[in-house]
Structure formats: structure tokens, C-alpha cells
Amino acid sequence: MASIEMMEKDFMAEKKFEGVTENSLTSYVNFFKGWNEWLRQEGIERVDQLNSRNSKAFLLYCIEERGNKPKTVNTKLKLMRAFTRWLNEEQVTATSHLIL
């Protein structure tokens, strides 16, 4: 199964191709940086290891450990959903179960 980081690179290339704004690209880069750090700590490296339980755990970590405000957590959730939708569209995996 594909690595999460490899799929993130493909996702970012797609977003650049679509012409999303620099601000949006920066948001994705910053989100993926924090998410990847947490995923590594949890031993999650492949797309098939993603699920709603660890998605919720990451968002809870952002609230409790990082002190993220609700607006920030909602933005992260939105970015996670965009990524998982893209995974579905690319038929990498059936990921509709991943995010809340």
C-alpha cells in the first residue's frame, strides 16, 4: 500500500496543477508537517493504516496538547477531508471511513 507521505506529494502536485492559491498551498504544507509528525509518533506510515479513530485522535491531540482553537481544528479537519476525498478520487483506497 502507498505511503502517506508519497500520496501527500502527489496531492500537492495536483493542487498546484489545479492552480490553488499560494495561501492554500501553504496551509496544506503546514498541516501535513504537523500531521506527519504525529503519524510518525503513532507508527502510522501507510494510507491503509488511516482510519476515523486515528483521525479523531489527531484532532484531539491538536486540542489538548497543542492548544489549537476550534477554528484551527475545523480547518485541519477540512484539509484532512480534502486529502481523503482526493485519495478516493484517485482510487488509492476507499477512505470514506477515515474522517469523521
Residue 99 covered by a domain: no
Name the residue range of residue 29's domain. Answer: 4-89
Q: Is the pTM of this model over 0.75?
A: yes
In this predicted structure, the answer to whether residue 64 has a pLDDT above a threshold of 70 is: yes
In this predicted structure, the answer to whether residue 54 has a pLDDT above a threshold of 60 is: yes
Largest CA-CA distance found in the chain, in angstroms, rounded = 36
Query: Which residue has better confidence, 74 or 98?
Result: 74
Q: How many domains does the chain have?
A: 1
CATH number at residue 21: 1.10.150
| Residue pLDDT, tens place only, 1-34 | 689 999 999 999 999 999 999 999 999 999 999 9
Written as one string, the DSSP assignment of 49-83 is G--HHHHHHHHHHHHHTT---HHHHHHHHHHHHHH
* CA dihedral sign, ordered 37, 80, 70, 25: positive
